[in-house]
Structure 1
Amino acid sequence: MTTDELAWDRVLRLHGRIEHELGKALQRRHGLGLSEFRALGKLTATQDGVLRMQDLAEAIGLNQSSVSRMVVRLEDAGLTDRDPCEDDRRGVYTCITETGRKRYAETESTYREVLATALDKAHADPELKNVVAALRGS
């Protein structure tokens, strides 16, 4: 394996571990998937709490079909609403509800806590120590 391949493998291992820990904690503690958490975060971060479905898909790194299914789950839970785009009939917006904002606020501390703990744990792994240090800028 080349140096680049080894480095990339470490990044992927770190990513996989962290994603697993985050997803498990969010689901167990809040009944929310990691992609759902990220979608609510992206919506919360916008000025009006609204994103075009296509932009949401791009922002969280999912394909259009996966985002559509996820938004249906969020709607069913009362966390978002859908709104057709008046300028383009093919376009659809997803809008965070007040309940969605509250749910996101409730889950943020879990996300931050688990992320920090998972990075600390990975930093103790000799093979991942340098990757974590690079991410943290130390």
Structure 2
Amino acid sequence: MDAQVWDRVITLHGRVEHALSKAMQRRHGLGLSEFRALCRLARAEDGELRMQELADLIGLNQSSVSRLVARLEAAGFTRRDLCAADRRGVYTVITEEGRAIQEEANPTYRAVLTETLDAAAGDESLAPLVATLRSQYALA
């Protein structure tokens, strides 16, 4: 039973991630992890997070988040800053350009997410999962 449920979760996750990734890259030139990092930074106090905190929030390891932040910096969407209290602490800070691209891309993300979940709701094997997820979100 658990294995069947998990298989459906993985199937749904794969469909959603593929659709979001394709749309974000095509319409905004952003990778999905890049967009998610910008979202987390935009919501963070002062628009900054320690690199390890960002890694934990978006589900990447330290090496991957370092490469991700390097790409965001090269695009002008973030900058690095040292922690004043602990010079070993490195922060990544969203720039105005980063906020602008995140705000521009957010409607695409939301629309594609809804479209993909709506399509999955039409698949009899995924419909109960989508309904459960949506009902839990509505309660939150």
Give deviations 1:79-132, integer Å, cap 9, x for gaps. 000012233333210000000000000000000000000000000001000000
In the alignment, structure 1 segments of 5+ residues that lack a partner are none
Secondary structure at the residue paired with 2:105?
Answer: helix
How is 1:107-118 mapped onto 2 (pairs within 5 angstroms)? 107-118=105-116
Give the fraction of aligned pairs with identical amino acids, expressed as a percent.
62
Give deviations 1:19-78, integer Å, cap 9, x for gaps. 010000000000000000000000000121000000000000000000000000000000
Aligned match of 1:123: 121
Query: For residues 22 and 106 of structure 2, what CA distance do their matches in structure 1 show?
Result: 14
Secondary structure at the residue paired with 1:75?
Answer: helix
Query: For residues 59 and 91 of structure 1, what CA distance do their matches in structure 2 show?
Result: 17
Query: For residues 68 and 86 of structure 1, what CA distance do their matches in structure 2 show?
Result: 20
Misfit runs of 4+, over 3 Å: none
Aligned match of 1:38: 36
Aligned match of 1:5: 3
Give the alignment partner of residue 94 of structure 1, picking from 80, 92, 117.
92
Secondary structure at the residue paired with 1:125?
Answer: coil
Query: For residues 84 and 43 of structure 2, what CA distance do their matches in structure 1 show?
Result: 23
Query: For residues 10 and 85 of structure 2, what CA distance do their matches in structure 1 show?
Result: 41
In the alignment, structure 2 segments of 5+ residues that lack a partner are none
Secondary structure at the residue paired with 1:95?
Answer: strand
Cα RMSD between the aligned structures?
1.0
Matched residue count: 136
Aligned match of 1:74: 72
Query: For residues 89 and 13 of structure 1, what CA distance do their matches in structure 2 show?
Result: 44
Query: For residues 21 and 90 of structure 1, what CA distance do their matches in structure 2 show?
Result: 38
Secondary structure at the residue paired with 1:18?
Answer: helix
